[in-house]
Chains A and B, each alone.
Chain A
Amino acid sequence: MTVLLIDDRTEASRQALTIARQFGEVSAIAMDAIQPFAPDALAAAIAGLNPTAVVGAGTERGNDLLARVAARMNLPFAANCIAVEPGDPVVVTRQRWGGSLLETARLHSPRPLLTVAPHTVPADDGRAPPEVEVRPTGADTTVSVSEHIQPSNGGVSLADAKVIVSGGRGVGSKEGFAIIEELAGLLGAAVGCSRAVTSAGWRPHSDQVGQTGTKVAPEVYIACGISGATQHMAGLKGAKRIVAINSDPQAPLMLNADYTVTGDLKEIVPAISAEIRKRR
């Protein structure tokens, strides 16, 4: 009669643990229990453990795995929850639109399957739950990682970056990003952009921050000339501090930032770079 937590050994899993504990005694199963990562095999192993509920972090792999468990066990699955009320039925509050909208729903299921949206629930700081061993049973490994490709450039990865300097439509052109790159270089930061910028072909999709791009969690996110559509904001849930630079004080991102600077980014961004150099 155990609640199973999928543990990928990150902060997100410890956040998921907080929710899992609401359902009862928790045991954990490692995300990397079956090597190389073979989600169908792992889902089979999970089903075989006959858990009363399965909770994971709402990461890419977490959602992938839980969906397979749900499909295998013919049960409903609620992804990216931020709150639950155990009961019959369980009532979940989950994210829509990357977190810009919240849904309250009833999960009619004998065994609740859900993932917890990262950066929404405090991490459990108690003792780690006991781990369940997984014995490979020759289950289906058709889908498994066969190879890993390292990124080609040595640049700072957007998902890991502590500081991100990001540009939007207000930057004006591909060449306009030179001042963004300059500031990023001085800070050892990654360069990000909005969807408008990738649609215009100024920067590659790998630089895009947002609901359909990369979700980031830096210490500081400096947004230059980005209006702040909900799909972009959805990528910033994990950002600790947002500094917004925009000529329009009413832009949505200006209203949802921690710090704002009003004015022309073409003057402000170089001024920041100059100030940094001055202090070095």
Chain B
Amino acid sequence: MRIAACIKRVPITGGRILLTDDGRAINTQHLGFTMSPHEECGVEEAVRLIEANKGDSVVLTLGPPEAVEQLRDAMALGIDRAIHLQTDGQEWDAEATAAALLDAIRADEAARGPFDIIFFGNESADSGGFQVGIRVAYALGRPCVTGLKKVTPEGPSVRCEQEVEGGRDVYVVPTPAVLTVKEGLNLPRYPSVPGRMRARSKPVAVVTPRRPDPRLELVSLAVPAGQGRRAESLGAGAAAAPAVVDLLARAGLL
């Protein structure tokens, strides 16, 4: 069985987002970084499937040199190899990201055979484009199911559960397939230290693709003004309870 997972390095922002002076990027000084949350579950699922079925797994990312940290984190969970499409730190739009990943996936498949499943996060925490996985799937001519909370290979197919209002929709598609997953798919394991130490010496293939001109071209970023919520104090401690209940009564919710 061959499984690939694609990830993206994103900052951990906390309660406020600060921008750089030119307003074109987040000020990431003093911020920690992680794999985007949906993708962490994709990586964990990939590791579990290979543990159950034998085979090999690959993690790919398009990102700056520091993104190798996230690749090592993925390999610490159990992924065998990594492919790093290294950028100079400039942002790539979703279309260009998909195209670069596609080239790397095609190259790896040509050498080692097709991936039964390629996992993507449903959307990245930062740019939230909702399209990279789908574009790769179309280019490869493979079925794509999105927003998954459960994935179960069944022979030549895979049964996918997507959470919708009022329950779950089930899709059954043949492999090879491309699946985009959401946090809640599984609970990612805590990497063991031997795992992390081994990950330090697992292979990372580095490629430096050329950045095409973006068709969704970033002009500037802005932190939105509050939604006009006025933070009116209803009081302090248990004494504020009547005021809260008054509010609920006025809204007709009691």
Q: How far is the CA of A219 from the CA of B214 in the complex (A)?
A: 40
Whether B13 contacts A97 by the Cβ 8 Å rule is yes
A242 to B240, CA, bound (A): 15
B222 touches A102 (CB 8 A): yes
Interface string of B124-139 (1 = CB under 8 A from A): 0111111100110111
CB pair B219 A261 closer than 8 Å: no
**Interfacial chain A residues near B167, Cβ < 8 Å:** 148-151
Residue contact A261 to B171, C-beta cutoff 8 Å: no
0 or 1 for each of A140-158: is its CB under 8 Å from B? (1 = yes): 0011111111110000010
* 9-residue interface stretch from A21-29, A123-131, A270-278: A270-278
Distance A262 CA – B238 CA, assembled complex (angstroms): 9
Q: How many residues of B sit at the interface, in one of the four size bands?
A: 35 or more
For residue A71, which residue of chain B has the nearest CB?
B138
Q: When the two chains form their complex, are residues B168 and A106 in contact, meaning their CB atoms are under 8 A apart?
A: no
- A14 contacts the other chain (Cβ, under 8 Å)? no
Q: Which one of A211, A220, A256, A261 lies within 8 Å of B248 (CB-CB)?
A: A220
Q: A80 to B94: give the CA distance in the assembly, Å.
A: 14
**Does A103 sit within 8 A of B, measured CB to CB?**
yes
Residues A67 and B130 in contact in the complex (CB < 8 Å), given A205-B184, A206-B184, A259-B234: yes
Q: Are A275 and B184 in contact (CB under 8 A)?
A: no
Contacts of A275 in B (CB 8 A): 241-242, 244-245
Partner pick for B183 among A67, A213, A242, A272, CB 8 A cutoff: A213
Question: Could you show 16 A-B contacts with beta carbons less than 8 Å apart?
Answer: A60-B146, A76-B94, A95-B128, A97-B17, A100-B223, A100-B224, A102-B222, A107-B215, A107-B217, A149-B169, A227-B15, A257-B231, A259-B247, A271-B238, A272-B241, A279-B249
Taking CB atoms, residues of chain B closer than 8 Å to A64 are: 130, 134, 146-147
Q: In this assembly, does B221 line the interface, its C-beta being within 8 Å of a C-beta of chain A? A: yes
Interchain CA distance A279-B247 in the complex, whole Å? 13
Task: Please tell me if the beta carbons of A146 and B170 are within 8 angstroms of each other in the complex.
Answer: yes
Q: Per-residue 0/1 for A17-56: is the Cβ within 8 Å of any B Cβ (1 yes, 0 no)?
A: 0000000000000000000010010000000000000000
A-B complex: 9 closest residue pairs judged by Cβ atoms: A205-B184, A271-B238, A252-B15, A71-B138, A76-B215, A271-B241, A67-B131, A263-B237, A147-B170
Measured CB to CB, the closest approach of chain A to B124, in angstroms, equals: 9
Q: Does B195 contact A (CB under 8 A)?
A: no
- A171 → chain B, closest Cβ, in Å? 16
* Chain B residues with CB below 8 A from A222, complex form: 244
Shortest distance between the CB of A103 and any CB in chain B (Å): 6
* B residues less than 8 Å from A163 (CB atoms): 248, 253
Measured CB to CB, the closest approach of chain A to B146, in angstroms, equals 5
- Does B44 make an interface contact (CB < 8 A)? no
CB contact between A260 and one of B144, B214, B231, B238 (< 8 Å): that residue: B231
Complex Cα distance, B123 from A63, in Å, reads 10
| Pair A159/B230 contact, Cβ less than 8 Å | no
Tell me how far the C-beta of A37 lies from the nearest C-beta in chain B, rounded to whole angstroms.
7
A-contact bits for B106-119, CB 8 A (1 contact / 0 none): 00000000000000
Residue B173 at the chain A interface, CB threshold 8 Å? yes
A174 beta carbon closer than 8 Å to chain B: no
- Is the Cβ of A78 less than 8 Å from the Cβ of B216? yes
Contacts of B222 in A (CB 8 A): 101-102, 104
Q: Which residues of B contact A268 (CB under 8 A)?
A: 237-238, 240-241
B166 within 8 A of A: yes
A243 to chain B, nearest CB (A): 6
> A151-B167, A157-B166, A257-B229 are contacts. A96–B238 as well, Cβ < 8 Å?
no
Shortest Cβ distance from residue A201 to the other chain B in the assembled complex, whole angstroms: 8
* Chain A residues with CB below 8 A from B161, complex form: 149
Known interface pairs A145-B170, A157-B165. Does A71 touch B241 (Cβ–Cβ under 8 Å)? no
* Residues in A neighbouring B234, C-beta threshold 8 A: 243, 259-261
A157-186 vs B, CB cutoff 8 Å, 1 = contact: the mask equals 101101100000000000000000000000
User: Is B52's beta carbon under 8 Å from chain A?
Assistant: no
Q: How far is the CA of A137 from the CA of B222 in the complex (A)?
A: 44
Q: How far is the CB of B185 from chain A (nearest CB, A)?
A: 9
Closest to A147 in B: B170
- B30, CB-defined interface residue at 8 Å: no
With an 8 A cutoff between CB atoms, is B193 at the interface? no
Known: A63-B130, A71-B138. 16 other contacts (CB 8 A): A60-B162, A63-B131, A64-B147, A80-B130, A98-B128, A100-B17, A104-B219, A106-B216, A143-B143, A149-B167, A187-B253, A211-B125, A257-B231, A261-B235, A274-B241, A276-B245
Instruction: Tell me, yes or no, whether A254 is within 8 Å of chain B by CB.
Output: yes
Across-interface contacts of A157 in B (CB, < 8 A): 165-166
